[in-house]
Amino acid sequence: MAISMQQARDLFNLSRSKLCCPVSAPKPCIPFLYPDDGCWGRAHEMCRLMIAEGASPLKVWIYGGLRVDTSNNPNCYVRWGWHVAPTLDVSTSRGVRRYVIDPSLFNSPVTTATWKSVQGDPSAQLVYTSASVFHRSYSGATITDPGYSQTRSVLSTYRNRLKLRSADNGPPPYFNCLTKPPGVQWYGTIAGNASRRWFTWGWNPKWHVIWTIMPLTQCPGGPQLKWNVQVERATSNQCTYWITVTNLTPDTVRFEGRYDILSR
């Protein structure tokens, strides 16, 4: 049965709300921030959540020489031989269209064509199955997991890998994979339950500058950072801002130090 686009967004957000904080990754969270592997476990858990809400998802499997750019891997990309995600049939002004629910790649539901296009192989093969298929091999052999025990095992494996990567390399996203947007003065990383001060100098004291600290490390459930700003009049025509950031969580957090000049 087709659903509305708003219902599809709500189901996407339901899945994404289960995202793992990468450093601690407490069960039963879903390790979307470890895109390297484990997609079949993520997809089966997402289908379970959507079915519990009364939806009727399917799954789409893609096979090929896949390569996806991502800031959630220190190399800034992952390679796959195959990938899978849930789909939903959505009523649109152009009729019923199939949308993919894949928080490991996107921030909202996308069409299957869009989902395929980011995976780097235009000749890749798409195969649709019911939501009950837990794993499908290249040859087409399928495994089911009606009790979700295998699903829990897969999620546990990749939660642990996400935690290990975060311990070795820090949590995602990785700064070397990011392009600094306008209005971002610096990227910072702060350990759990820590406070640290940064400074930025050479600002015109005639300007009205505001500063915002925006977490980049995804970790739903509560506030992560707070900050305060102090200012030094370094010379007659320059000032320095001193910005103290406090991590309110036990997990390491990466962030953007943003500014905006309200008047000059």
Where do the domains of the chain lie? 5-169, 179-263
d(CA 150, CA 188): 38
d(CA 110, CA 99): 5
Residues 78, 103: contact at Cβ < 8 Å? no
pLDDT tier, 25 (very low <50, low <70, confident <90, very high otherwise): very high
pLDDT tier, 94 (very low <50, low <70, confident <90, very high otherwise): confident
CA 129 to chain CA centroid, nearest Å: 25
pLDDT over threshold 90, residue 93? no
pLDDT over threshold 90, residue 258? yes
Burial of 187 (0-12, 13-18, 19+ CB in 10 A): middle
pLDDT tens track for 134-181: 999 999 999 999 999 999 999 999 999 999 999 999 999 999 999 999
pLDDT tens track for 64-73: 999 999 999 9
pLDDT tier, 81 (very low <50, low <70, confident <90, very high otherwise): very high
The CATH number of 5-169 is: 3.10.620.30
pLDDT at 210: 98
Q: Kindly state the average pLDDT of the residues 77-98.
A: 95
* pTM of the full structure: 0.93
CA 190 to chain CA centroid, nearest Å: 19
* Backbone torsions φ then ψ of 233, nearest 5 degrees: -85, 95
pLDDT at 38: 98
pLDDT over threshold 90, residue 108? yes
* Backbone torsions φ then ψ of 240, nearest 5 degrees: -120, 135
- Please provide the average confidence, as pLDDT, over all residues in the chain: 97
Angle at 110 between CA 82 and CA 21, to 5 degrees: 70
Angle at 245 between CA 244 and CA 250, to 5 degrees: 145
Burial of 203 (0-12, 13-18, 19+ CB in 10 A): middle
pLDDT over threshold 90, residue 30? yes
CA 215 to chain CA centroid, nearest Å: 13
pLDDT over threshold 90, residue 240? yes
Report the run of H or E that residue 63 belongs to, with start and end: strand 58-69
Cis, peptide link before residue 173, omega less than 30° from 0: yes
pLDDT at 40: 98
pLDDT at 264: 85
